[in-house]
Amino acid sequence: MDKENASPAGFLISLHLFFYDLHDISHNSKILLVGIYLEFFQLFTNQHVAQV
Q: Which residue has the higher pLDDT, 15 or 1?
A: 15
The amino acid that residue 16 corresponds to is H
Tell whether the model's pLDDT for residue 46 goes beyond 80: yes
Tell whether the model's pLDDT for residue 41 goes beyond 70: yes
What per-residue confidence (pLDDT) applies to 1? Answer: 45
Instruction: Please enumerate in sequence order all residues whose Cβ is within 8 A of that of 37, keeping only pairs 6 or more positions apart, or say none.
Output: 15, 19
pLDDT tens digits, 2-34: 555 457 788 888 877 777 776 666 777 878 888
What per-residue confidence (pLDDT) applies to 33? Answer: 83
Domain extents in the chain: 25-51
Query: What average pLDDT does range 47-52 have in this prediction?
Result: 71
